[in-house]
Amino acid sequence: MKVRKIGYQQRKKHRWTIRQQTELVPSLLLAGKWMTSAGFSRGDSVKVWVEHNKIVIER
């Protein structure tokens, strides 16, 4: 499978505390036909975890 390089964005995460703080957190959006080639279908549930400094996504 072809290696793809993707960027990431920052998103606001609201923390519902007395001060209602907002912090910026990293965010990834994965989309494309290549995901179908990798065995993912629309509506699939996935498991996501970090292992050895890598993000792992599994159906």
Query: Is residue 1 in a domain?
Result: no
Q: What is the pLDDT of residue 41?
A: 93
Q: What is the pLDDT of residue 4?
A: 72
Q: Per the structure, how many domains does the chain have?
A: 1
In three-state secondary structure terms, 35 is: helix
Q: What is the pLDDT of residue 53?
A: 93
Say which residues have a Cβ less than 8 Å from residue 46's Cβ, sequence separation at least 6: 40, 57, 58, 59
Q: What's the pTM value of the predicted model, to 2 decimals?
A: 0.60
Query: Is residue 3 in a domain?
Result: no
Query: Is residue 28 in a domain?
Result: yes
pLDDT tens per residue, the chain (59 residues)? 677 777 777 777 766 666 677 777 888 888 888 899 999 999 999 999 999 999 999 98
Which neighbouring-strand residues pair with 6? none
Q: What is the pLDDT of residue 32?
A: 87
State which amino acid sits at residue 49. Answer: W
The boundaries of the domain holding residue 40 are 9-58
